[in-house]
Structure 1
């Protein structure tokens, strides 16, 4: 089974401000705000939904193809992906742009100020879909270029390729009609519980109506695990105990990777979601979305400690 990942590749540039923003912002001057924060250095992490999912799938022994776009500053990320056996054949380089990047400053109260530059993500990936063998393909469409999210969903739907639609932070960018059209015919629509409410509000659909449009609805619930819904039948998936909750940022993408791995192994959706739960636990234990690692033996043991034999 060849897995195709549509989603962003981005640099996360993370800064810590050793004070509180509130001590440096004058409430009565917000209409002419002009502030400067001296930070304690900068950490650069590899991220983006597509990159995070691909990284975890590589740990799980898969060789996914990323359908994404990057800029002229991609060399370090390129090397990182190839170091982990991830092909860059489906990635378009837009030479006049920078790779998408988030600039995140966090103060001592965990308040954040974030600036996001989409950079190359403004352009479509332009992947040659004639290369895809529909009988051996599985796709996931995660937040990235809006045109790609629409076009890739249509291609998978028109060619009978099972796909997961994962709208995430791009939900507000779509009209309700566009959103409903994107996930129509998907094997799985996956969101967290807050995002699901956003989808229902944007489309005007009920949960039952969404389930008339997709085969499965998966809702992740943080430390409470996840639910898998199929035509009114709901299955709860437990979360996995973790040593320390360090950073939940990449847990959702890791969950999607485990889910895809399970589907590639021909497991049921509920069984595959259990692999997602295990994969998410590793991500939570490290700061950054691609900082954790594991062997398949370690992964299987952790799975079996919680769910029993991984057949």
Structure 2
């Protein structure tokens, strides 16, 4: 097995985030569950909701895209595979990701639909409610995969959100086969409880078939996946099925379970909670970077907590502070 070129190769939705502040009353008015991710099924619906937004800012996003940008910000080597259209938002996405130091070589898709966008409403308590038009991202074909890039990544990281459309689902299954054939690890993030409600059976089968080496979940997602009411029961149930389970618990920190080892860390202190967009993505960035660098569970969890704490103190899901410096200060 050759030495990996990349610490992490991620496959996910290639989305441009549009963030704006909103009151709780507005979230109620548009009829969505606060703190969740809803799918928008037409560009017209996306345009109508966009017209209701207050002043916003555009930034390259997407869950797995945020994660690899975070890895690059810490000095790691990362690559991303995802589908954009041949349009302005597609150019924004590609430029932002490459400027962050991430390899991105997926060919653009001509014609309609447009590049995916996520309209994110951030309420005063920092909660983000996401409304996503998947656009071109849902048409990532298996033929678009760069097998050499996947084979060159120490860890393949897959985004649960991308399991919705058929073509990317097939692409991710093929990517798993490529990674495993090359002796690489496969990490998977459950992404969202509603995602689990749609695809829980598929996710459980991936786990049962031994195709997932590292599973990321928050507390709600873990409970939804296991259909248990008790958190500890859910932890034990899944821990027995995946080599490494990583669970984030918001202000209660995070834990990782591997074999007989169980490690927990507290959340990093913050001055002010501004926006939780990308907290889980950046936690995964820190943890995966730590693992790719050969660090233990505690140090990897700590890196994740440092990254998550940085991201929730400002708007947007891309780091503004020097993550490499923050990590060095924390770990010495």
What band does the TM-score fall into relative to the shorter chain?
Answer: 0.7 to 0.9
Structure 1, 211-220 or 141-150: larger mean CA deviation:
141-150
Alignment-derived partner of residue 29 in structure 1: none
Q: Secondary structure at the match of 1:69?
A: coil
Aligned length: 291
Gaps of 5+ in 1: 26-34
Structure 1 distance, partners of 2:254, 2:27, is 36
Structure 2 distance, partners of 1:22, 1:55, is 29
C-alpha distance 198-84 of structure 1, shift in aligned 2 (>3 A): same
Could you tell me whether the CA contact under 8 Å between 2:157 and 2:186 is conserved in 1?
yes
Structure 2 distance, partners of 1:109, 1:246, is 7
Q: 1:67 Cα deviation (Å)?
A: 1.4
Structure 1 distance, partners of 2:29, 2:224, is 34
Structure 1, 275-284 or 74-83: larger mean CA deviation:
74-83
Provide TM-score, normalisation by structure 2: 0.76
Could you tell me whether the CA contact under 8 Å between 2:66 and 2:317 is conserved in 1?
yes
Matched, 1:59 2:83: no
Structure having greater relative contact order (Cα 8 Å, sep ≥ 6): 2
Matched, 1:11 2:16: yes
Which one has a bigger Cα radius of gyration? 1
Aligned-pair RMSD on alpha carbons?
3.1
Gaps of 5+ in 2: 31-47, 164-168
Could you tell me whether the CA contact under 8 Å between 1:50 and 1:68 is conserved in 2?
no
Q: Secondary structure at the match of 1:98?
A: coil
C-alpha distance 174-157 of structure 1, shift in aligned 2 (>3 A): farther
Alignment-derived partner of residue 32 in structure 1: none
Alignment-derived partner of residue 31 in structure 1: none
Q: Secondary structure at the match of 2:302?
A: helix
Q: Secondary structure at the match of 1:257?
A: helix
Alignment-derived partner of residue 296 in structure 1: 324
Q: 1:179 Cα deviation (Å)?
A: 0.8
Structure 2 distance, partners of 1:255, 1:112, is 16
Alignment-derived partner of residue 95 in structure 1: 110
Structure 1, 280-289 or 138-147: larger mean CA deviation:
138-147
Could you tell me whether the CA contact under 8 Å between 1:157 and 1:186 is conserved in 2?
no
Alignment-derived partner of residue 297 in structure 2: 269
Q: 1:226 Cα deviation (Å)?
A: 0.4
Alignment-derived partner of residue 197 in structure 2: 172
C-alpha distance 95-257 of structure 1, shift in aligned 2 (>3 A): same
Matched, 1:142 2:141: no
Provide TM-score, normalisation by structure 1: 0.81
C-alpha distance 82-233 of structure 1, shift in aligned 2 (>3 A): closer
Matched, 1:72 2:81: no
Which of 246, 249, 254 is equivalent to 1:226?
Answer: 254
Q: How does 1:1-311 map to 2 (within 5 A)?
A: 1=4, 2=6, 3-16=8-21, 20-21=25-26, 39-73=53-87, 74-89=90-105, 91-96=106-111, 97-105=113-121, 115-125=131-141, 126-133=144-151, 137-146=154-163, 147=169, 148-169=171-192, 170-176=195-201, 178-183=202-207, 184-201=210-227, 207-231=235-259, 233-294=261-322, 296-301=324-329, 303-304=330-331, 309=332
Could you tell me whether the CA contact under 8 Å between 2:22 and 2:122 is conserved in 1?
yes
Q: 1:131 Cα deviation (Å)?
A: 4.7
Structure 2 distance, partners of 1:231, 1:271, is 17
